[in-house]
Amino acid sequence: MYWSKLFIPTLRETPAEAEVVSHQLLLRAGYVRQLSAGLYSYLFLAQRSLLKIMRIIREEMDAIGAQEMLLPALQPAEVWQESGRWDVMGDNMFRLKDRFQRDLCLGMTHEEIMTDIARGELRSYKQLPQIWYQIQTKFRDEPRPKSGLLRVREFLMKDSYSFDLDAPGLDAAFDKHHDAYCRIFQRCGLEFSAVEADSGAMGGSQSTEFMVASDAGEDYIAVCEECGYAANLEKAVSVPQSPRAPDPAGDFAPEKFHTPGRKTIAEVAEFTGLPESSQIKSLVMVADEKPVLALLRGDHHLSETKFAAALKAREIRPAHPAEIRVWFDADAGSLGPVGARMRIIADRALSGRRNMIAGANEDDYHLRHVTPGEDFEAEFFDLRQVVAGDTCVNCGKPIEVRKTIEIGHIFKLGYKYSESMGLRVLNDAGEEVTVIMGSYGIGVGRILSAAIEQRHDKDGIALPASIAPFTVVVTPVNRSEPAQAEAAEKIYRQCLALGLDAVLDDRDERPGVKFKDADLVGIPFRVTVGKKLAQGQVEVVTRRTRESRDVPAGEAAQAVAALVRDAA
RNA sequence: CGGGGCGUGGCUCAGCCUGGUAGAGCGCCUGGUUCGGGACCAGGAGGCCGGAGGUUCGAAUCCUCUCGCCCCGACCA
């Protein structure tokens, strides 16, 4: 294609509304324009990249025997009511009514639709297993769209769904997806981690998330470089660092002492001269409308996911100050387990500790010599959030915490949808059995954003050839030199003949403008046709590394093709 | 939903406090000179100052309401 004819609206300056790098660059490089909060138009360049990403996804999905479909985005309430998610999804779902006042929604995901298709058609174990997928726009009424294309209200997802007769079948489908996903992300040039994850509102027994390390991300993962353990922070386990100071030995009774104005763990630590790890942190939570006191070591943080899981609670929240006042007759900052009249659950790191500091449930007073199991009773669970510096439960090496972008998530759904929606087949004994399902998502747009987050520099985007909008740009330096224009045109045609995705920068612009734009847009290879043409030479430049080699003009296209092959 | 910030040509922003006929740079158009990392000269187009109400002789500027966008938090298939 000829650049002069293309719509590539690059910006010299960074638009003010963009905060994260990928967003800034997508706007500056003319890939996207924003219509409204969380709604983006994907312009020519973005669409080319997305099509390449989707082609990779299709190739790998097809390779594991998955079949592509196209499903409605507009969906009737009935199927969501059947699965129970019409209520569960709450405000996250876009809902509307048709002219007959029937309830509809815009699909956030397609478990219900796929299950509905399957239950109408799958009758026999002989038809299993099946893997069906779709690449489509999905909708979520985000409370706060943000970070450019990372959290949006309308987004392109690939979702696949597996149907199996039994658990080993599901395991196989899950593993196939795991492997296919690794290949997809590798081909997209991403550095990623597959981590254990919480299944959340999707339901199901086991799930793995695919995460790309990035400061623009919203998720944290815990990783052990040594043994490969990796988990979402919501779920991660670790061995905490030992308390900073040993507990006082001896069998003491709790003893109240005055701590005027000392409310936070840090203030009490400073006041007592004892480290935070010698304190018991008391958090008042409300789980499914019932008060619960959660206890942690002073320097630890509560994992709300683990807390909810421990109580099997659907909804949890911190208690309001007014509630705390009523229940304890003291304010947050002076609370403790001794004498608390509610369910108490404690993190395992408190098990076996003695003579710690805790709030006295009286404003401006704390207790010393508080011993779990003696001075109060609690149920022990793992409630603690992993922090950097903890050690791995498998190998004892240090755990690292990384900020990440979630680009894929695969779930063993189990029987959640097949049970509620009645998807059953006959097995070889003629008995009716419920089909077991899995679901497997990839955020297509997120791959693009994540790739840019990982691969950019001060000059712009540096995507790998596999997903860059063009593979090579041929740039004549001086258009007024007919020889350069002719040579560039010829090289461009040779690139096309070799199957390279090429663009000829035939704009009547100064060379600096063309170089800057090519760098910004992120075309992996550039053939510069300039003054060395007099000696029959042109330059082949690699965007990422800035490496440049002179080659005879007639061999330039071949040289680029070779570089593309090497990179793949 | 709570807290904060911002809405002025396509983009980045000044002007607002202290009301008096709307500015700069970049981009865009025309002509010319240029041509290896976002050129130069000359000429030109383009703005209901987010919207509505109010105060005032007079509002981009002051007041009220409203809409939108961004950030932090809550939330996050």
CATH of residue A328: 3.90.960.10
Query: Could you report the predicted ipTM of this complex, rounded to two decimals?
Result: 0.94
Tokens, residue A232: 């979402």
Q: What is the mean pLDDT of each run of 10 residues along chain A (568 residues)?
A: 95 90 95 93 96 98 98 96 91 93 95 96 97 96 88 95 97 97 97 86 76 92 92 90 90 92 87 92 87 91 86 80 84 88 92 93 93 93 90 93 94 93 96 96 96 95 97 93 94 98 95 96 97 96 96 98 92
Measured CA A528 to C1' B40 distance, in angstroms: 25
CATH of residue A136: 3.30.930.10
Is residue A386 included in any domain, yes or no? no
SS (H, E, C) A111-153: HHHHHHHHHHHCCEHHHCCEEEEEEEEEECCCCCCECCCCECC
Check whether residue A142 and residue A223 sit in a common domain. yes
Which bases of chain B are under 7 A from a protein CB atom? Answer: 1-2, 6, 11-13, 25-27, 34-39, 68-77
Is residue A408 included in any domain, yes or no? yes
Name the residue with the least CA to C1' distance from nucleotide B26: A12
Is residue A465 included in any domain, yes or no? no
Check whether residue A354 and residue A268 sit in a common domain. yes
Check whether residue A338 and residue A428 sit in a common domain. no
Q: Residue A442: CB partners within 8 Å, gap ≥ 6?
A: A57, A157, A158, A159, A181, A184, A210, A407, A408
Confidence (pLDDT) at A202: 52
Is residue A525 included in any domain, yes or no? yes
Name the residue with the least CA to C1' distance from nucleotide B73: A144
How many whole angstroms separate alpha carbon A361 and alpha carbon A335? Answer: 5
Confidence (pLDDT) at A380: 94
Q: Which nucleotide is nearest to A203 (CA to C1')?
A: B77
Residue (of A125, A35, A130, A56) closest to A432 by Cα position: A125
Question: What is the span of the domain harbouring residue A358?
Answer: 255-381
Q: Which nucleotide is nearest to A442 (CA to C1')?
A: B77
Measured CA A541 to C1' B29 distance, in angstroms: 35
Check whether residue A529 and residue A562 sit in a common domain. yes
How many whole angstroms separate alpha carbon A386 and alpha carbon A195? Answer: 14
Check whether residue A50 and residue A161 sit in a common domain. yes
Is residue A397 included in any domain, yes or no? no
| Cβ contact A420:A83 at 8 Å | yes
Check whether residue A347 and residue A443 sit in a common domain. no
Check whether residue A127 and residue A175 sit in a common domain. yes
How many whole angstroms separate alpha carbon A138 and alpha carbon A160? Answer: 13
Q: Which nucleotide is nearest to A531 (CA to C1')?
A: B36
How many whole angstroms separate alpha carbon A140 and alpha carbon A221? Answer: 24
Check whether residue A376 and residue A519 sit in a common domain. no
How many whole angstroms separate alpha carbon A516 and alpha carbon A511? Answer: 9
CATH of residue A506: 3.40.50.800
Of A348, A381, A414, the residue that ends a domain is A381
Q: Which nucleotide is nearest to A517 (CA to C1')?
A: B38
Check whether residue A448 and residue A474 sit in a common domain. no
Measured CA A388 to C1' B34 distance, in angstroms: 58
Confidence (pLDDT) at A286: 85
Check whether residue A143 and residue A288 sit in a common domain. no
Is residue A337 included in any domain, yes or no? yes
The DSSP bridge pattern shows strands A436-443 and A400-414 to be antiparallel
Confidence (pLDDT) at A200: 60
Report the domain count for chain A. Answer: 3
Check whether residue A89 and residue A209 sit in a common domain. yes
Measured CA A459 to C1' B31 distance, in angstroms: 33
How many whole angstroms separate alpha carbon A224 and alpha carbon A228? Answer: 5
Instruction: Determine the length of chain A.
Output: 568
Check whether residue A145 and residue A277 sit in a common domain. no
Looking at chain A, the number of H-run helices and the number of E-run strands are 14, 31
Is residue A201 included in any domain, yes or no? yes
Is residue A52 included in any domain, yes or no? yes
Measured CA A24 to C1' B28 distance, in angstroms: 23
Q: Residue A406: CB partners within 8 Å, gap ≥ 6?
A: A209, A210, A211, A217, A218, A219, A443, A446
